[in-house]
Each structure stands twice: as structure tokens, then as C-alpha cells.
């Protein structure tokens, strides 16, 4: 199995849950069923600016398992990446996000952010398929953000940089997700066509009284500003963390403090009562 999957897999990117082989097989078969039966749902988590206005929403997939209830992407995305099922799931998420965008826009959320895995990113038909979805749904420049982790660069920096530029040519913004937790070197920041850096929540946690996290985050904020990129802080859970980030001119924030990821109807409810 490992051999067949070959060297083009990303096993080392996401620490695999400790699932046994049998369990993985079961999950894989169930995922196939889930794709056929459309058991996936997209939740949305608001992204706010430093004045508290909701400017975007991140699409986060959930698997509504018939017996187990909602399963977190942290549990099935790594496996879906290894089996290639992420391609189908990912495309569906992109389509759903584009279908939902008009509703979000009606409620003042102008932009939707979608996660792309390296596995999708390197497919020969990736750009074509994104282009098709964007065209079909009349997505305008600036309305869609592609979230990509820095690890995407490891496999082939030239190809990934070209793909990112082409996404930008389509009017799609690039956000570097989980910034600071991957394996890419800082030198790529000079050439990567990203408009946003999403600083991982491990650096945001307790930022107001963890001087190391604070130093790293302030460094990222300074660097991003010099490079003309905006910063989104992930995983903001407390008012102290938020206030610290605002004080250091962090552009955008996302986290449980503001809102958890919600089904679209609940998000709209939340937006209406905000």
C-alpha cells in the first residue's frame, strides 16, 4: 500500500491519527459512500477586521456520518489526501462555497475562503477545474480566497508559484495558511504571490502573557507589513488575545471568541443578531 501511494504523498504533512490499517480501510470505504451520498457539509467561520466587522468567512468541511455524527476534517482530511479522495471532496467544497457566496454577500460577507490541499493543487486539471467553477458561479475578483499551506512549496516550488500566479490572474486571492508551522524557508516570502498570511493559532495562544508567542507574532506582523501582505490571526479565543493583536495592528482575526464555524443558516442568524 505504502509503495503504491508512492513518493508523491504527503503523509508527513499532517500527523496521521493513530488509526489501524483496518480502521483506515473502513474509513476509506465509508468516505467513498459519503461522497456518493453527499454526507459532507460546509460550515463557515467568520473572519473579522480589527474594527470587528465580518469581512470574510472560511469554508470548513464536516462529514455528517450517519452513526457517528459530525466528524472533524482533522480526522478524515489526512486520509482523504493519501487516498486521493480529497480531490472530489475539495472540488465539492469549492462549489458549495461558491453556491453559498451570494447568500453570504446579502448579509455583508464579501469574501469566502476555501482550503486547498497540496494533492488538489498539483493535479493537472486543477486550474481548469477552479476556472470552471468560478466562471459557472460568476465569482468576481476578490470574492474567493485560496488557502494554501507553505508545505505546498516543498514538492515543486516553481510549479506551485506558477499555479498561485495563475489563480491570482483569475482574481483569486492567496492566503498562506498555518503560517509558521510548515517546513518551507522564509526566503520564499519574497516571491510567493500571497496577499495574506494566516498566523497559526499556536502563536496566538496566550499571546498577551506568553512573550515568545508575542515576539513571533509581532515579527510576522512587521515582516508582512513590509512585504505588503495582510495578516489573519487564527484561533483567537480571548478578549486579551484580541486586544493584544489589535494593539499591534493585526489586520484580521478569526476564532471562537468571535464565532465558531457554523452551518450557513446559523451563521446568517448570527450575522443578523450581531
Q: Which is nearer to ligand C2E, 22 or 184 (CB)?
A: 184
Binding mask 150-189 for ligand C2E (x = CB under 6 A): ---------------------------xx-----------
Q: Which is nearer to Mg ion, 234 or 251 (CB)?
A: 234
Q: Report 106-145 residues binding Mg ion (CB under 5 A).
A: 115
Strands 144-149 and 111-115: parallel
Residues forming a β-bridge with 176: 148, 197
Burial of 247 (0-12, 13-18, 19+ CB in 10 A): exposed
Separation of alpha carbons 253 and 174, rounded Å: 16
Q: Which residues pair with 263 in a beta bridge?
A: 43
Q: How far is the CB of 37 from Mg ion (least distance, A)?
A: 26
Rounded-to-integer distance, Cα 162 and Cα 75, Å: 31
Nearest approach, Cβ of 187 to ligand C2E (angstroms)? Answer: 23
Instruction: Give the binding range for ligand C2E (CB under 6 A) out of 15-23, 134-142, 207-215, 229-237.
Output: 229-237
* Residue closer to Mg ion (CB basis): 178 or 251: 178
Residue number, 23 or 72, with CB nearest to Mg ion: 72
Q: Give the interface size with ligand C2E as a residue count (CB under 6 A).
A: 25
For residues 126, 199, 216 and 248, what is the CA-based torsion angle, rounded to 10 degrees?
Answer: 130
CB-facing half-sphere around the CA of 52: CA atoms within 13 A: 6
Of residues 147, 150, 173, 241, which one binds Mg ion by CB under 5 A?
147
Copy the grid coordinates of residue 261: 464555524
Residues 6+ apart with CB under 8 A from 141: 171, 172
Least distance (Å) between residue 60 CB and Mg ion:
7
Site residues for Mg ion per CB under 5 A: 115, 147, 177-178, 234
Site residues for ligand C2E per CB under 6 A: 45, 60-61, 72-74, 77, 86, 90, 93, 115-117, 147, 177-178, 201, 234-237, 254-256, 261
Amino acid at each position: 500500500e505504502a509503495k503504491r501511494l508512492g513518493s508523491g504523498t504527503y503523509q508527513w504533512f499532517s500527523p496521521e491519527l493513530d488509526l489501524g490499517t483496518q480502521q483506515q480501510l473502513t474509513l476509506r470505504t465509508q468516505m467513498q459512500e459519503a461522497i456518493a451520498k453527499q454526507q459532507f457539509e460546509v460550515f463557515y467561520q467568520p473572519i473579522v477586521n480589527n474594527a470587528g466587522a465580518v469581512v470574510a468567512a472560511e469554508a470548513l468541511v464536516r462529514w455528517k456520518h450517519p452513526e457517528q455524527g459530525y466528524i472533524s476534517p482533522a480526522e478524515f482530511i489526512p486520509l482523504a489526501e493519501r487516498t486521493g479522495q480529497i480531490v472530489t471532496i475539495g472540488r465539492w467544497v469549492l462549489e458549495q462555497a461558491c453556491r453559498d457566496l451570494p447568500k453570504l454577500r446579502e448579509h455583508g460577507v464579501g469574501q469566502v475562503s476555501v482550503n486547498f490541499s497540496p494533492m488538489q493543487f498539483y493535479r493537472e486539471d486543477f486550474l481548469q477545474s477552479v476556472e470552471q467553477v468560478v466562471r459557472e458561479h460568476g465569482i468576481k475578483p476578490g470574492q474567493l480566497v485560496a488557502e494554501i499551506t507553505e508545505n505546498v512549496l516543498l514538492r515543486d516550488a516553481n510549479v506551485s508559484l506558477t499555479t498561485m500566479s495563475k489563480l491570482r490572474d483569475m482574481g483569486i486571492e492567496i492566503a498562506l495558511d498555518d503560517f509558521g508551522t510548515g517546513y518551507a524557508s522564509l526566503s520564499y516570502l519574497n516571491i510567493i504571490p500571497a496577499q495574506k498570511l494566516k498566523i497559526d493559532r499556536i502563536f496566538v495562544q496566550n499571546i498577551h502573557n506568553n512573550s515568545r508567542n508575542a515576539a513571533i507574532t509581532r515579527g510576522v506582523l512587521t515582516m508582512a507589513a513590509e512585504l505588503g501582505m495582510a495578516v489573519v490571526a487564527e484561533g483567537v479565543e480571548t478578549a486579551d488575545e484580541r486586544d493584544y493583536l489589535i494593539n499591534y495592528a493585526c489586520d484580521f482575526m478569526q476564532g471562537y471568541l468571535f464565532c465558531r464555524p457554523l452551518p450557513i443558516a446559523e451563521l446568517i442568524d448570527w450575522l443578523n443578531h450581531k
